[in-house]
Amino acid sequence: QVQLRQWGAGLLKASETLSLTCVVHGESFNDFYWNWIRQPPGKGLEWIGEIDHSGTSNYNPSLKSRVSISVDASKNQFSLRLSSVTAADTAVYYCARVMRSWLKTWFDPWGQGTQVTVSS
């Protein structure tokens, strides 16, 4: 059974770069796309982007100019970098696997979440 564990800095100052990493245990890393999703306090979920083992990535157009997702398949890890953060980037950040089958897609499982707070 696959498990995702994530870590990274939880407190940033405005204009700094957010950096988070997620490690995948128990499943073939190379067979899936791996995602980052965030949730601002009291708000809904927002998809940030995804990457596969080869480095092929897709990003949310609204964040694309500031986001970079990288992968280290040798360690079953993928990472998120978000530059020039502001208070609007304060959120719980989740990593998750996406499954795809014909016309179906779904996120499962999810990491435990990391609270990131940006102070001015």
Partner 1 sequence: SSELTQDPAVSVALGQTVRITCQGDILRNYYASWYQQKPGQAPLLVMYGKNNRPSGIPDRFSGSSSGNTASLTITGAQAEDEADYYCCSRDSSDNQYVFGTGTKVTVL
**Sites of contact with partner 1 (CB under 8 A):** 35, 37, 44-47, 50, 58-62, 94, 98-99, 101, 103-113
Measured from the CB atom, the residue of 35 and 76 that comes closer to partner 1 is: 35
Q: What is the dihedral of CA 78, 81, 82, 87, to 10 degrees?
A: 90
* End-to-end CA, the chain: 41
CA distance 11 to 33: 28
Measured from the CB atom, the residue of 8 and 113 that comes closer to partner 1 is: 113
CA distance 77 to 71: 6
Supply 87's token pair. Answer: 């208070």
Q: How far is the CB of 30 from partner 1 (least distance, A)?
A: 19
Q: How far is the CB of 104 from partner 1 (least distance, A)?
A: 4
Measured from the CB atom, the residue of 39 and 83 that comes closer to partner 1 is: 39
Q: How far is the CB of 15 from partner 1 (least distance, A)?
A: 26
**Would you mind telling me the total number of residues written for the chain in this entry?**
120
Which DSSP state fits 113?
A: -
Q: How far is the CB of 88 from partner 1 (least distance, A)?
A: 17
Measured from the CB atom, the residue of 3 and 17 that comes closer to partner 1 is: 3
